[in-house]
Amino acid sequence: MSTYKLNMHIASVTFISVALCIFVSLLLVRGVLLKDKMFEYKPNDLISCLDNADSKKHDQDSNNKVLSVGGGLLKRLEELETKIIAIKAEANSKSSYDSRFRYEDEGKGADNHISDSNVAQFIESDFDRNGVDQDVSDEYYSATVALLMDNPEIVVDRVRCNQNYCSALFNTVDGASPNIEEVWGNPPFMHEGFSIPQIDGGLLLYFTDDQTNIDELRSLAAEYLGESDSSY
């Protein structure tokens, strides 16, 4: 073999050896990099994880706020429903009241300037001037006491009557305004009437017999007031 060919052969073997060494080195380096990458945790990944945790906490806080607001609204709705039920019950109670009975604030009759208070003034004045029928008064007082047997908190202080109309004064044991709805519609409270609250909490009930109506009393009251007060 010539010197030239020998040198070429040596050069080829050397080149191949170097190339193999480089290739093996690259493989080793790549393996190390891959191994390291398995345990690599980038800063961006940590930030992303923290953001996700904060987002979940924010969502939970929002849910808690929604639940809190929802609970408050539900409580308010329940309170409103309770009030509506109470108002309906009161309305039904008043509507069940005999239509012939009314409170003083429910308006005036044909003589617009004659109020229930004016009629009451006339009735009391008539009792004072002309007296009362004591037998009728005692009978109606006893009947009223019997009606109140199931309502011991309500007491009737007095009943004054003539042959056409009466007044009955009611009070309560605790001084509150008496609720006399249960007595109306029962004898002797079966015809027309109205009530006037008293300053001390009592309630004066005025009622008529079956031969007299409130409009007639209103006319009589107008005449009486016209006689006693020139302004009428």
pLDDT at 138: 95
Bigger pLDDT: 9 or 211?
211
Nearest to 146 by CA among 133, 161, 135, 159: 159
pLDDT at 113: 74
Domain assignments of the chain as residue spans, ordered by start: 3-40, 101-228
Reading across the β-sheet that carries 165-172, which strands appear in turn? 101-103, 193-197, 203-208, 165-172, 154-161
pLDDT at 196: 92
Cα separation, 119 vs 194, in Å, equals 10
The answer on pLDDT for 220 being more than 50 is: yes
- Least trusted range by pLDDT, from 49-53, 115-119, 212-216: 49-53
Cα separation, 43 vs 22, in Å, equals 33
Nearest to 205 by CA among 230, 169, 232: 169
Residue 10: pLDDT band by 50, 70, 90 thresholds? Answer: low
The answer on pLDDT for 183 being more than 70 is: yes
Contact between 202 and 169 under an 8 Å Cβ cutoff? The reply is yes
Cα separation, 156 vs 49, in Å, equals 81
- Residue % of the chain over a pLDDT of 90: 25
**Averaged pLDDT for residues 174-202:** 86
pLDDT tens string 129-163: 999 999 999 999 999 999 998 888 999 999 999 99
pLDDT at 207: 92
What is the rounded average pLDDT for all residues in the chain? 72
State how far Cα 228 lies from the chain centre: 49
| Distant-in-sequence, close-in-space partners of 124: CB < 8 Å, separation ≥ 6 | 167
- Least trusted range by pLDDT, from 16-30, 165-179, 194-208, 213-227: 16-30
pLDDT tens string 85-118: 544 444 444 433 344 444 444 444 444 578 899 9
pTM: 0.52
Structure tokens belonging to residue 110: 């044909």
| Distant-in-sequence, close-in-space partners of 119: CB < 8 Å, separation ≥ 6 | 194, 206, 214, 217, 218, 221
Q: How many helices (H) and strands (E) does the chain have?
A: 5, 5
The answer on pLDDT for 197 being more than 80 is: yes
pLDDT at 11: 54
